[in-house]
Amino acid sequence: MLRIGRRIRATEAVVPLFLIERNFAEIVKTDPETMATVKAVNDEIGIQWLFSFLSADKRKTYCLYEAPNAEAIRAAARRLGVPADTIVEVGAEVGPYAAMIAPVLERAAELPHGGP
């Protein structure tokens, strides 16, 4: 089964997806400068932040990442001084959107250029 948000080109390896729960003592900063710093560190380590959900009280996040392994996520968290309380490798997507888009992704992966 193909994964939404994953690299699916025929010439690229599939990178595992991880869900990270982070608990913060303070309200999470979401300004552009902080986000740019996170991206720079992630790029250096070789992980990709796909998106996050922020709790209503802005003290907890649930983040989806592509990474070669959980240790790479921990390394980035240490460098950024942010928690990575729970890291779980996730499998295939389920739900109506995943079911709807899967045939499109499968066809795209079969194209000579490897897809989107």
Structural domain span for residue 98: 17-110
Task: Label residue 66 exposed, middle or buried (CB < 10 Å: 0-12, 13-18, 19+).
Answer: buried
Residues of the chain whose pLDDT is less than 50?
1-4, 8-10, 114-116
pLDDT of residue 90: 93
Look at the chain and report how many structural domains it folds into: 1
CATH number, residue 56: 3.30.70.3090
Asked if the structure places residue 2 within a domain, the reply is no
Output the average pLDDT for the chain: 83
Asked if the structure places residue 88 within a domain, the reply is yes
pLDDT of residue 4: 45
Q: What is the DSSP letter of 29?
A: P
Q: pTM (2 decimals)?
A: 0.72
Which residue type is seen at 110? E
Asked if the structure places residue 27 within a domain, the reply is yes
